[in-house]
Structure 1
Amino acid sequence: MTLHIATLARTVEPSRPDSGLGALRTEQGNLPLRGLDVNTHVTGLVARTVVTQRFHNPHSDPLEATYVFPLPERAAVTRMTMTVAGREVTAELQERGQARARYDKAIERGNRAAIAEADRADVFTMRVGNILPDENASVRLEIVGPLAWEDGQATLRIPLVVAPRYIPGRPLDRIDAGDGRAPDTDEVPDASRITPPVLLPGFPNPVELDVSVTIDPGGLELSGVESSLHTTEAETDGERTTIRIHPGERVDRDFILRFAYGHGTVDDSLITAPDADGETGTYQVTVLPPRQQAGGRPRHVVILLDRSGSMKGWKMVAARRAAARIVDTLSDDDTFAVRCFDHEIVAPPGEDTDGLTTGTDRHRYRAVEFISRIEARGGTEMSRPLIAATDLLAGTEGERTIVLVTDGQVGNEDMILAELDGRLAGIRIHVVGIDRAVNAGFLHRLCLAGRGRLELVESEDRLDVATAHIHRRIVEPVLSDVSIEVVSGELVPDSMAPARVTDVFSGVPFVAYGRYRGASPRLRLSGTDAAGRPWSTELSPQDTVDPTALGASWARTRLRDLEDTYASTSDNGQLSTLESEIVRLSLSQHVLSRFTAFVAVDSEVVNENGTMRRITQPVEYPQGWEVPQLLSGGPIQVAATSAPPMAPMGFAPSAPSGPPPAPGGPPPAFGAPPPVAGGVRSGAPTAPGAPRGAVGPRMLGRPAVQRPVRSAGIPPRDVGQALRQELQAIRATSDGSTGSEQQHRMELSDLGTRLDLIASRIAAAQFGDADAVRDRLRRLATALAECESPRPPTGSALTDLRRHAEAELTALVEILDRVIGSEGTTTSGGGDTVPPAGMGGDGTGKPQGPRHRGASSGADSFWRRPGGRGRAT
């Protein structure tokens, strides 16, 4: 899997020279996001959090800042305010298309404005526009949600960075919906909105991070407070305890806090909160499972181990340990299979590839030995192994379980869930999510669909606890066939959330929300215990101390159910009904959804001529991820400065670095080439009336009318110098006398990645023969991508491919030499840099006017399904 990384080099250079694809040298402090403040107040098992994003405009033109960021996936975003120049504006929640139209019109008029949109359950986009030069602006988001509770311990997890995700599929023939590294594809139609540019490690900390958590135990004893990934300090004021991270931490990993209360924290309960009119209300059912051992029926288990490139490093070590320990828990009465996957599925040697193997000592030993040799490589094609696992379990009787060990870093979440729809009857899915910036939103949805549990592992220290939990849950649940019955009162039909009632496992309370009419109801929870006996408990209502939190938690859970249904539905009539219901519920409960958006518009006009620079904030590379080796670059920082060997830029040192290419196109990349300047959407402020990168047509797959505003392109001298360096490198190893064929294929594949990036930086008609040079580079990059295909070139074919690359580079260098000689072109910045971030390709930074995203008239235009049907992603 090849990862494209945007690097913004600054005047304060790191001790070691780092470079990235398309890196630009910029002035210190040119990034818009200056600070991120996260303040959480925990009462019982409810967390209220205020997230404040602080922006600054260091440029001479008004600025629009874009920031792609995560939030807890189960939390409800209930309020947003924008503060700038001493003026505070409260945002309104509107249907997404209307909110975008209002934002764009405000920007055109010259008003300050901000808009927040949800792209996933836990990935959001903030845009703040018309920030004046040297002006500060802040946006405050208020969220509320429940804490996870398991085995007597509460967990608060606050995600801080959106990790790179694998993006499969063919690029769509339209303008991308966003400004990220990856193009929109038929499998991930909004990939460009969830793949922000990435900063390489080693640069000065660009964002001041402040995280504080105040815990109010409400008279209970607080104990065991621990932060697994950050150094913290604690202060006590009476019963309250406040935990803060130390200054200087980077925004490169989740903040995770675990703690325990005294006895009686979680009991069987029915909490109710009447609405203001008294006619309806919200309830929450919480039931602790009975304390008994599960049954001993034979188990049928398929263990899926993600070995994709993003798992490299400590994650692969932890994943191997987790998978091996799960194998060790099996007995002779059980059957199992182990499958490792990236863009291929691999089984242990000698194992029945079409069935399950008995859990004898011999078979378990072979499986563990196989797991111990697995290394990370390739792309995360997750749906195929999950479908293969359901096929392996078909026809078996007893407890059928899939255990998936992964970081979940994929972009086609909805497609995976849709392809599993109908295959999970009688099959349970448990997931071990390993990462410090895990894709928890998707993994929770997968576990919900499979009636299983998610265990998050952010470090190897957490692995023992997580595998112990999974071991207990591979056995039968302590309660199954759970249902809720009304003893007295009236429930609102189809209001229970989650709609899919899960089984209950040891140590984990059953929690469900719903709506009622009239007086508070009495409810009975019934089910079957592990011994097959009927079980029930009756609950009387109690008033909640936080009715707004209860209502928001129900609304968020219900919205997630509706959005998941939307993602798996193909009927156009039902899609329209679901869309309307999502918008209605979101607006009535004032909780953000993927079909609505918060928009704030200041009444003061501050930018009458419409001039505005646009910058997308690059995000940190997640801590614990192994960064691909990148050597110092040339003028545009895409080529190695020395000759042999060419540096492999994928994750895998001994395997193809990506999935096989799509027929007729380039290979699906972990991310597409980054935007210009590693996050600057256009190299200069945009011209009045110029089309802004559209969010995509209302129906996906339909070509967009608008064209994105591109950089003026890199100078031909810089292109020639970069290609000359690549030519020198390939000539130094042209005889193929050193290294294995696999290494040579990796070198050629990585060369193709760099050439494709150079091609993307050449603007149409930028110089004589520009189009021809760009097209030849892309054809060569496509040919080199065959080195990552399932049947890569070998022997003489590989030698011929290397010679072809050398000949093409030689011809292209000669063409560029002629262009430079005839046009007398000079490089900007003396030939060793390109214009600073935020400047145009000509370095002038000439003021230009606003681009328009072309907001659609309906809800969320870039979710739509190919062929005229919507698709949530």
Structure 2
Amino acid sequence: MSLTVTPLPTAPGAPDPEAGLGALTTERGNLPLHKLEVDTRVTGLTARTEIVQGFHNPHAEPIEATYIFPLPDRAAVTAMRMTADGRTVEAELKERQEARDTYDAAIAQGQRASIAEAERADVFTMRVGNILPGERVSISLSLTGPLLNEDGEATLRIPLVVAPRYIPGTPLPGPQAGDGTAPDTDAVPDASRITPPVLLPGFPNPVSLRIETVIDPAGLPLTTARSSLHTVTRAENPDGTVALSVRPGERVDRDFILRLAYGEPATVGTALAAEPDRDGEGGTFQLTIVPPAMTAPSRPRDVVVLLDRSGSMSGWKIVAARRASARIIDTLTGADRFAVRCFDHEVESPDRLPAGLAEATDRNRFRAVEYLARADARGGTVLLDPLREAAALLAPGPETGERDRVLILVTDGQVGNEDQILAELAAGLAGVRVHVVGIDQAVNAGFLNRLALTGRGRCELVESEDRLDEATARIHRRISSPVVTGIAWTAEGFTPDPGSLTPGRVPDLFEGAPVVVSGRYHGVLPATARLTLTGTTVTGEAWTAAPTATVATSAAETAGPPPLATSWARARLRDLEDRYATGTGDLTGLEQRIVELSLRHSVLCRFTAFVAVDTRVVTDGGTPRTVVQPVELPAGWEAATPAMPMMPVAMSMPQAAAPDFLSGYGSPPPAPAGGPSGMLFRAESRRGRHAPVPPAPAAPGGFGGGGPVFGAPPPAQQMPAAPDPTPVAPPLAYDPWTGARALLAEELAALASVPADTPEHTRRDLLSDLASRLRALLIGHPADETHRALTGLTEALAACDGPTPPRGEELTALWSRTLQVLTTQAAPTAAPSGPAPPPPPAPQPTARRAFWKRGS
């Protein structure tokens, strides 16, 4: 096989005058991370990766090394090993609090230990404790995951650096959860765990990076490979595999992206794969649905384009973002309506266009593109406000009719309050298709993929201006109407578990974008097992496919974790974690389900952790010095500006007292004038320290936003007001559902206005979207009769997303029940529900906070 390897164009970045290998030496010592090795074997459309992190201790006392690092958001972390002094310890996966207790106890007893914890889908923390002076410790992580496959091209993406993120909210009292540079806030309770310190530009390369990839096409017609790093073909082997390696000297400052062209998109067809469990009493199936080769005529659309112009988008990224947004607007037709918003810590719109949706005339589109051309990068990334405004612009109404509602977000996604955003917008964006264009060489892909998945859309990642044309062409196809909708399926010859499906609802099919649905089945799978798929094409014709199951090697015969079961478990855990972040009801029960699933399949999640403990005692115990590994400034990011200061690392100090923009950019406060500067080095851990709460900021400033402008005088101290002697009337009785009933009345009016001849698949979509909004509405309300009635309705509406959705009379009955429940619950109650509850007590600092749990 002859394979052409083409380096992907990279965005311009600062020159590296002192590139090299090995550890960085300064007057304060060496950094703990000295090497990073990534070995991947790609087989068809599946990747297995081994990542080795090498730590060392150049100091005269034992240390604990802390490293905040990224991993692919779609990959499952299935194993961890610690090697030191000729001894290798296999890590155990435990419930997270239990794992943390195990680690702390081992360190206190003088044992060598390590722990890996998941902070986000793609952000992790590694702690390696009691590393002896002069000692080297290696941590190995095993990953398994699918490649993204669209338009005949499979993509392997290995992120290498966690970029600085904007951290909104008010700092929390009490100990900080981690050792990062930003204080924990009410909007981001674990901010100190996702904000590693950042190296100043121009430092010699502190980490030796080695990346090697072996590609086994597994029968697919592989033609070319494109790499985001300088890659060379090491060997084309007799067995048909190809080995690629990254040129030595590359810095750990951007994602490694390998794009594999597998011929025409039609090469891979709709298929059903099955993998029996080790006991043979069940297994995992994976359904890949390939859209039919047809171009969908575009229906009238309402489109909102949001352009991120925050400080982190400076340089080539804002240029690419402007071009991408302008090209999307250029593709609109006269039948469409649109709106454009640019945002940082403020939301702005073109002054020559209507405040709402504008007709997509040539003049209006020209004005929008002209406005976008003037957008420059500034301020902080307040993402929630523009998304709220977009949801309001795209809210359903009588005038929307059969129009597609589409939101397109162009951003790098560098925010820390991902859960807050998804929880608040899950209901408001129901029925809106959300597409995301992620622009960065170290993009927050985990969040952007979650946002697109929630909105039943697609996420396109752009790591350079040269890939922009390709990405915008794909987005143009995605914002057209789907080619197949209303997909349902029937199993023949085997029994799938309907509650195990991921995603829970089969997405619509778009041109060139295959859909993968996986789940669990019961019993033995016969050779005749198959799934029959049905749907409706954009032209109104019936569509069907009936793939027969291909049984893969059973888990009992597989070396290592079974790939289908592992990939399903990771995807299912991601679904459940998103439900935990955005849902209501029995969160404790949901947490238990997540932990059980994680432990059963040995896949790391936010509620579990891998912990390795060497039984040998190597120190006298106590608390070792904590050294936090600084990370590179991502490639393509601009260095220090007055609005976005880059600071040399100083000794650890409370960050909340500094201007808030520092928490967003990820840099600690500057060293005192005339004091030492150099690498980012933390002499003591922040865990257990209390962050002082600064006065409320008057206006956002700098990259992080939400704080005073750097250099401005501090706000005047306010004296407490004298108590008001006026007697306070007793609280009035109130109905806790008053505001919600008004919303229920709006939902009732919207459903009642639906024409009687509306197709069944459209009715099911409307009921499914209503269920999403009801789930959000239930949050924070008492478990009374209204809550029980709406919960029962929400559970019934969930059937619209199942493999056998209601049809005919069953759908009519569900529609009638929905109208009846909404009519009853939208009406004001005859009697008040009781006195208003007292305000919650002020939170008290705790010695330890389960920051990974909601409400902790």
- Does TM, normalized by the shorter one, top 0.5? yes
How many Å separate the matches in 1 of 2:691 and 2:85? 30
Residues 58 and 708 of structure 1, relative CA distance in 2, 3 Å threshold: farther
Structure 1's unaligned 5+ residue stretches are: 1-13, 17-23, 639-660, 685-691, 695-705, 711-741, 756-778, 785-852
Q: Between Structure 1 and Structure 2, how many residues are aligned? A: 675
How many Å separate the matches in 2 of 1:198 and 1:510? 38
Write the deviation string for residues 591-625 of structure 1: whole angstroms up to 9, x where unpaired.
00000000000011010243622101000000001
Tell me if 1:563 matches 2:563.
Answer: no
Q: State the one-letter code of the partner of 2:85.
A: A
Residues 679 and 448 of structure 1, relative CA distance in 2, 3 Å threshold: farther
Which aligned pairs between 1:418-817 and structure 2 lie closer than 5 A? 418-520=423-525, 521-545=529-553, 547=555, 548-571=562-585, 574-610=586-622, 612-629=624-641, 669-671=663-665, 674=668, 683=683, 693-694=686-687, 706-707=688-689, 780-782=713-715
Cross-structure match for 2:374: 373
2:334 to 332, 350, 364: 332
Cross-structure match for 2:75: 75
How many Å separate the matches in 1 of 2:612 and 2:619? 17
Cross-structure match for 2:735: none
Answer whether contact 2:181 2:663 (CA < 8 A) is retained.
no
Answer whether contact 2:165 2:666 (CA < 8 A) is retained.
no
Cross-structure match for 1:247: 248
Residues 42 and 462 of structure 1, relative CA distance in 2, 3 Å threshold: same
Q: State the one-letter code of the partner of 1:549.
A: P
Answer whether contact 1:182 1:672 (CA < 8 A) is retained.
yes
How many angstroms does 1:237 deviate by?
1.3
1:268 to 266, 270, 273: 270
How many Å separate the matches in 2 of 1:226 and 1:502? 29
How many Å separate the matches in 2 of 1:235 and 1:183? 48
Answer whether contact 1:665 1:782 (CA < 8 A) is retained.
no
Write the deviation string for residues 111-163 of structure 1: whole angstroms up to 9, x where unpaired.
11110000000000000111111110000000000001111111111000000
Cross-structure match for 1:405: 410
Tell me if 1:863 matches 2:852.
Answer: yes
Answer whether contact 1:586 1:596 (CA < 8 A) is retained.
yes
How many Å separate the matches in 2 of 1:233 and 1:709? 51
Residues 626 and 782 of structure 1, relative CA distance in 2, 3 Å threshold: farther
Write the deviation string for residues 158-216 of structure 1: whole angstroms up to 9, x where unpaired.
00000001100000011110011110000000000000000011001000000111101
Which aligned pairs between 1:257-406 and structure 2 lie closer than 5 A? 257-262=258-263, 265-353=267-355, 355-394=356-395, 395=397, 396-397=400-401, 398-406=403-411
How many angstroms does 1:531 deviate by?
1.3
How many Å separate the matches in 2 of 1:471 and 1:285? 26
Residues 294 and 750 of structure 1, relative CA distance in 2, 3 Å threshold: closer
Answer whether contact 2:81 2:91 (CA < 8 A) is retained.
yes
Cross-structure match for 1:170: 170
Q: Secondary structure at the match of 1:351?
A: coil
How many angstroms does 1:501 deviate by?
2.6
Write the deviation string for residues 6-33 of structure 1: whole angstroms up to 9, x where unpaired.
xxxxxxxx979xxxxxxx9943761000
Answer whether contact 2:37 2:209 (CA < 8 A) is retained.
yes
Cross-structure match for 2:179: 179
Answer whether contact 1:305 1:406 (CA < 8 A) is retained.
yes
Write the deviation string for residues 467-516 of structure 1: whole angstroms up to 9, x where unpaired.
00011111101112222322232112310012233211111111011000
Cross-structure match for 2:114: 114
How many Å separate the matches in 2 of 1:468 and 1:546? 40
Q: State the one-letter code of the partner of 1:378.
A: G
Cross-structure match for 1:228: 228
Indicate the larger mover: 442-451 or 523-532: 523-532
How many Å separate the matches in 1 of 2:548 and 2:25? 65
Answer whether contact 1:230 1:255 (CA < 8 A) is retained.
no
Q: State the one-letter code of the partner of 1:584.
A: E
Answer whether contact 2:174 2:847 (CA < 8 A) is retained.
no
Q: State the one-letter code of the partner of 2:362.
A: D
Answer whether contact 2:286 2:516 (CA < 8 A) is retained.
yes
Q: State the one-letter code of the partner of 1:619.
A: V
How many Å separate the matches in 2 of 1:752 and 1:426? 39
Q: Secondary structure at the match of 2:35?
A: strand
How many Å separate the matches in 2 of 1:465 and 1:95? 43
How many Å separate the matches in 1 of 2:84 and 2:603? 24
Answer whether contact 1:617 1:679 (CA < 8 A) is retained.
no
How many Å separate the matches in 2 of 1:611 and 1:187? 31
Answer whether contact 2:47 2:147 (CA < 8 A) is retained.
yes
Residues 109 and 751 of structure 1, relative CA distance in 2, 3 Å threshold: closer
How many Å separate the matches in 1 of 2:679 and 2:594? 32
Cross-structure match for 1:793: none
Residues 61 and 268 of structure 1, relative CA distance in 2, 3 Å threshold: same
How many Å separate the matches in 2 of 1:678 and 1:554? 45
How many Å separate the matches in 2 of 1:306 and 1:708? 34
Q: State the one-letter code of the partner of 1:535.
A: W
How many angstroms does 1:746 deviate by?
8.1
Write the deviation string for residues 84-113 of structure 1: whole angstroms up to 9, x where unpaired.
001000000000000000001100111111
How many angstroms does 1:566 deviate by?
0.4
How many Å separate the matches in 2 of 1:328 and 1:234? 44
Q: State the one-letter code of the partner of 2:465.
A: E
Write the deviation string for residues 733-763 of structure 1: whole angstroms up to 9, x where unpaired.
xxxxxxxxx9xx989x9997767xxxxxxxx
How many angstroms does 1:456 deviate by?
0.5
How many Å separate the matches in 1 of 2:39 and 2:115? 21
How many angstroms does 1:261 deviate by?
2.6
Q: Secondary structure at the match of 1:539?
A: coil
How many Å separate the matches in 2 of 1:95 and 1:151? 40
Answer whether contact 2:175 2:846 (CA < 8 A) is retained.
no
How many Å separate the matches in 1 of 2:628 and 2:159? 19
How many Å separate the matches in 2 of 1:634 and 1:99? 35
Answer whether contact 2:107 2:623 (CA < 8 A) is retained.
no
How many Å separate the matches in 2 of 1:381 and 1:157? 27
Write the deviation string for residues 829-866 of structure 1: whole angstroms up to 9, x where unpaired.
xxxxxxxxxxxxxxxxxxxxxxxx9996xxx810334x
How many angstroms does 1:674 deviate by?
2.0
Q: State the one-letter code of the partner of 2:163.
A: A
How many angstroms does 1:534 deviate by?
2.4
How many Å separate the matches in 1 of 2:620 and 2:350? 67
**Identical amino acids, percent of aligned pairs:** 56
Answer whether contact 1:167 1:668 (CA < 8 A) is retained.
no
How many Å separate the matches in 2 of 1:518 and 1:311? 52
How many Å separate the matches in 1 of 2:292 and 2:421? 34
How many Å separate the matches in 2 of 1:678 and 1:864? 37
Cross-structure match for 1:415: 420
